[in-house]
């Protein structure tokens, strides 16, 4: 399944979703059709790795 993101946001371990899932970070993605929101729960280490990957991808996309 592919989702084209309309909105995306992240929340820290103080949010109820993180507390319930026992994870450090929650990433919420709302698709273009806005019919539902997917929540992804990450450990601190997973979030740091994702941040690094995103930064690298952003830098690679910059015009030369």
Q: Give pLDDT, residue 2.
A: 85
Q: Give pLDDT, residue 34.
A: 79
Q: Give pLDDT, residue 62.
A: 95
Report domain extents, the chain. Answer: 5-61
Question: Using an 8 Å Cβ cutoff, are 37 and 29 in contact?
Answer: yes
- Residue 59: strand pairing partners: none
The whole-model pTM stands at 0.88
Q: Give pLDDT, residue 10.
A: 98
Question: Using an 8 Å Cβ cutoff, are 11 and 28 in contact?
Answer: yes
Tokens of 28: 């919420």
Per-residue pLDDT tens digits for 5-64: 999 999 999 999 999 999 999 999 999 987 889 999 999 999 999 999 999 999 999 998
**Predicted confidence (pLDDT) at residue 1 exceeds the cutoff of 80:** no
């Amino acid at each position: 399944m592919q989702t084209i993101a309309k909105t995306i946001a992240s929340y820290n371990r103080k949010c109820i979703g993180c507390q319930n899932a026992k994870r450090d970070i929650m990433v919420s993605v709302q698709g273009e059709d806005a019919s539902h929101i997917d929540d992804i729960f990450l450990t601190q280490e997973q979030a740091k790795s994702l941040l690094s990957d995103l930064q690298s991808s952003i830098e690679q996309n910059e015009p030369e």
